A and B are shown apart, each in its own frame.
Chain A
């Protein structure tokens, strides 16, 4: 129904009704606004409380973590210190021993090279005795080094000792192998040298005999013997078919 079609006599009543409705709506809006404000206040308080709780929890967690970190650091630091100390001792002794080994082997090689250059049989004898001596000394030195390492390190743990003994055994075997190889190589070199020297002497003697034979024959053969030899050579050439065309 269109509002402009209502008769004028009824307009006052209608206006009053509209006003009443509007007033009720305003009241309802005010109440609603209060409720919303109250709700928002509660939410804000709740958020603050939550933040505070969270902060506390984080602080507590950080505190625990820091404590745990400190404790872990202390443990690790202590362990690291001990391990470093132990490793340092082991490394120092180990590298020293290896250097000793290498020096001993190097010395043996140098001595061998010099001696090989001098002479043959004498060298073999001296070389063998030298090797035995060096081998004994080296074994003694290695054992002494191991004892010193064990005493010095203070790590008298059975497993560690076993480990070291295995390592030492390995070194000994390697050294033994190297010395045997060296001995074999030197022996081979000596044999080659002897063979070469023998060949030189043999060739020299051979040349001397050849020279003497030639001189003697050159002086000793008469012209008659030369004649016979020439005719014999011609006969031989004929027999071999040289003059056949």
Chain B
């Protein structure tokens, strides 16, 4: 009779142990899933590169994300894009010039002033050794349309 009682208690203990184990495993699993979901894509803050355009370590490129030929009713616009990190970006607008550097990912953004009418904006990227690449965009600032 005593042996039967001990066996029953052992069975109960094992059962309780299984339940507790399941609870602990469930908690650990949920915590891990929550932490993973908090940052589903660690690189999501970076501007995605256009297809086929990957930065080459020693190569120089300039990819403007600002649309060409915009018609604007305010006297300023933002020039943004992506190039290689540790480069220098010169923006020659008709109402002013700007020299900036990109961030560690190569992204850059600069608000520039516009003149009334057609604006030709030349963006040139320089590397320290003098290598450069450039791109031109147009914008039209008008108060009447």
Decide if A and B are genuine partners.
no
Q: Chain B interface (Cβ within 8 Å of chain A)?
A: none
Q: Chain A interface (Cβ within 8 Å of chain B)?
A: none
